[in-house]
Amino acid sequence: MSQTMELGVGGMTCASCTARVERSLKRLSGVEDATVNLATERATVTFDPAHVTPQDLVNTVRSAGYEPATAD
Ligand code: 9UX
């Protein structure tokens, strides 16, 4: 059963940044879809929690060079 979560992504300044974050998230096994909104600085990620965790998503955003923020 897949799950969808929103994740804050800070540090993006152009449209290519959003594409880079989307690509890095989609490369993770277990991530089914990732869309990043530059204006709202949020990523919407659909994933299978049996294969990838919210912490993995956070770590990936940070590794890509941006600043992740969880909703809570
Ligand atoms: Mo645009 Mo983002 O030139 O890391 S790709 S600022």
Show me where the domains of the chain are located. Answer: 3-70
Give me the percent of the chain exceeding a pLDDT of 70: 97
Is it the case that residue 20 has pLDDT exceeding 80?
yes
Pocket test for ligand 1, best of 13, 41, 63 (most atoms within 8 A of CB): 13
For residues 11, 15, 72 and 30, what is the CA-based torsion angle, rounded to 10 degrees? -120
Confidence of residue 71 (pLDDT cuts 50, 70, 90): low
In this structure, the residue with its CA closest to atom 4 of ligand 1 is: 17
Confidence of residue 70 (pLDDT cuts 50, 70, 90): confident
pTM for the whole thing? Answer: 0.94
The CATH-assigned architecture of domain 3-70 is 2-Layer Sandwich (3.30)
Both tokens of 31, joined, read: 């991530």
Q: Considering the chain, what is the average pLDDT of its residues?
A: 96
